[in-house]
Amino acid sequence: MSLLLEMFTYPFILRAFVVGILVSLCAALLGVPLVLKRYSMIGDGLSHVSFGALSVALACGWSPLPVSIPVVIAAALALLRMTERSRMGADAAIAVTSASALAVGIIVTSLTTGMTTDVDSYMFGSILAMDRADVVLSVVLSAAVLALFVLFYHRLFAITFDESFSRATGVKVGLYNTLLSVLTALTIVLGMRMMGAMLISSLVIFPALSGMRVLKSFRGVVLCAAVLSVASFCAGLTASYLLGTPVGASVVLVNLAVFLVCCAIGHKAR
Amino acid sequence: MSDEKKLLIDCRDVTLGYEGRAIGSHLNFQVHSGDYLCIVGDNGSGKSTLLKALLGLLRPMEGQIRTDRSLGGGAIGYLPQQTRAQRDFPATVSEVVLSGFLSARKGRFFYTAAEKSKALMNMGKLGVLELKDRCYRELSGGQQQRVLLSRALCAAGTLLILDEPVTGLDPEAAHDMYRTLAYLNRTEGLAIVMVTHDLPNVLKYATHILHAGRRGWFFGTAAAYLASPYGKKLGGDGQ
């Protein structure tokens, strides 16, 4: 118990908690429409693009966030266009984009700094990565995501459930899709340095899937995903501190465990 | 006869197409209140393109589609084809039905009490009221269509536009759907515009037919359609 209390005396762990809770809340909320609209892979693609952008920024000695945020937002908009245009080729397009971005990142690093611990922490995450700017940005971001969800909840439901009906009734579907992908891009850029480029997309996908297993209403799934995501993050971070395991991987495994439990509950209820 | 009826949609000399390729050219037809118009025709003949144009999602290349003022601002009851993503969507029936009230003109963020009671009324009309807290994905195909039809009723009171509403339904559910539509058309006075492949059943209910063919288009009353070359060919096919 004293070990747990001691944990909160380290400022970097406190920062990790604040940023992590806010990021996992945003990721879970955004994840529900993304998963239901079959856009799950966008998160994965974006995290790899973000990795590429961070490596280039690192190699050139620029600060990471100002470089990667515009790049990832641009990538998010491009991926969204691709998914909207051609349903068939979208998964291939995302796979190609993410592999290419990853390759660019690796080549740039190996030509300049070499595979340093910085690069390693971008790949698999690090608890030390969060600074003051991240805390501020994550507070702003989560405020934006929460505002979007509260104010436009019914419109988000409508465009997620039935895009063609919403279009016909005059809802600006394109605007909301753009908003969703820009906010997803920001969430991923913020979260990936702690969770790791390889693991961040699970934060978007797992809570939504878990919620969908046990609940039957859209409102219920959104709320459940948010609660599960924040709880899983806290449990994962604590476990990583106590056992000395990497944060990102610990959080993902807690999410997996929660998902399996939800599957079992959902199966029993049926 | 049609003088006393309100003109809802007026298509004048309309040419449709997308990406520069014309599909139907110089179309002329009208939909009045109380009409039951079926759009039939071959695949790829431009039925869905026409539907998009009627919904205001596609601008015609030439000509004009005029709609009555009561249909402005997205107040059209639209029943799209179901997508695969919807079949396992976690949403209650009332969540789905209420989403019919969203249209661009309303700046409000939440549903009003009046809208909620109207949604309940529409669910009652279509016999899905007792399903209102059930999960959409657990319903049968016919029940799902009724739910989507209740949502369409929430969006509009004068015109329903349906895109192949009986595709994927078993014959009994399809029959049920047609009877419901006939009820809405005759008793509630809703005009109906429906794209369908199911010609034999359509001819029982429709007042007007729009036939989209690769070579030409036909528009007229159901009786005139049967007497036309298109309708005669249809009879010859043994349909």
Residue A26, pLDDT above cutoff 80: yes
Same domain, B53 and B7: yes
Residue B3, pLDDT above cutoff 60: no
Mean pLDDT of A106-125: 78
pLDDT at position A65: 80
Torsion, CA B162, CA A83, CA B56, CA B22, rounded to 10: -90
3-state class (DSSP) for residue B84: helix
Mean pLDDT of A79-83: 80
Same domain, B174 and B113: no
Domain residue limits at B191:
1-76+158-239
Select, from the ranges A113-122, B8-17, B189-198, the one with the highest average predicted confidence (pLDDT): B189-198
Same domain, B56 and B98: no
Residue A13, pLDDT above cutoff 70: yes
Mean pLDDT of A170-196: 87
Cβ atoms of A121 and A129 within 8 Å: the answer is: yes
Nearest CA to B5 out of B235, B207, B226 is that of: B207
Same domain, B71 and B174: yes
* ipTM given for this complex: 0.83
Band (pLDDT 50/70/90 cuts) for residue B20 is low
Residue where one domain finishes, among candidates B120, B155, B190: B155
Domains with residue ranges and CATH for chain A: 2-269 (1.10.3470.10)
State which residue of chain B sits closest to A172, comparing Cα positions. Answer: B104
Q: CB–CB of A171 and B74 under 8 A?
A: yes
CA–CA distance, A43 with B14 (Å, rounded to integer): 43
Instruction: Report the CATH number that the domain containing residue B48 is assigned in CATH.
Output: 3.40.50.300
Work out the minimum CA distance from A89 to partner chain B, whole angstroms.
Answer: 17
Contacts of A230 (CB under 8 A, 6+ apart): A21, A24, A25, A28
Q: B193 vs B11, which has greater pLDDT?
A: B193
Q: For B69-119, what is each residue's pLDDT tens digit?
A: 777 655 678 888 877 777 778 999 999 999 888 875 566 778 888 888 888
Residue B1, pLDDT above cutoff 50: no
User: What's the sign of the alpha-carbon dihedral B69, B116, B86, B164?
Assistant: negative
Query: Number of folded domains in chain B?
Result: 2
Work out the minimum CA distance from B157 to partner chain A, whole angstroms.
Answer: 13
CA distances A18 to A14, A54, A189, A195, A233, Å, are: 6, 22, 16, 14, 11
Same domain, B199 and B168: yes
Same domain, B211 and B189: yes
State which residue of chain B sits closest to A218, comparing Cα positions. Answer: B91
Same domain, B93 and B186: no
Residue where one domain finishes, among candidates B101, B128, B155: B155
Residue where one domain finishes, among candidates B155, B175, B194: B155
Q: For A130-151, what is each residue's pLDDT tens digit?
A: 778 888 888 888 898 888 888 8
Q: B195 vs B200, which has greater pLDDT?
A: B195
Q: Which two tokens stand for residue A232?
A: 């899983």
Same domain, B7 and B68: yes
Same domain, B124 and B135: yes
Q: How many Cα atoms are found within 13 Å in the side-chain-facing hemisphere of A96?
A: 8
Residue A265, pLDDT above cutoff 70: yes
Same domain, B164 and B238: yes
Contacts of A148 (CB under 8 A, 6+ apart): A156, A179, A183
Q: Which two tokens stand for residue B188?
A: 């509630």
Residue B215, pLDDT above cutoff 80: no
Residue B236, pLDDT above cutoff 50: no
Mean pLDDT of B45-55: 82
Nearest CA to B199 out of B57, B55, B49, B40 is that of: B40
Q: Find chain A residues with C-beta within 8 A of B164's C-beta.
A: none
Select, from the ranges A162-166, A171-175, A212-216, the one with the highest average predicted confidence (pLDDT): A212-216
Q: CB–CB of B78 and A165 under 8 A?
A: yes
Same domain, B51 and B67: yes
Same domain, B111 and B185: no
Single-letter amino acid, residue A35? V
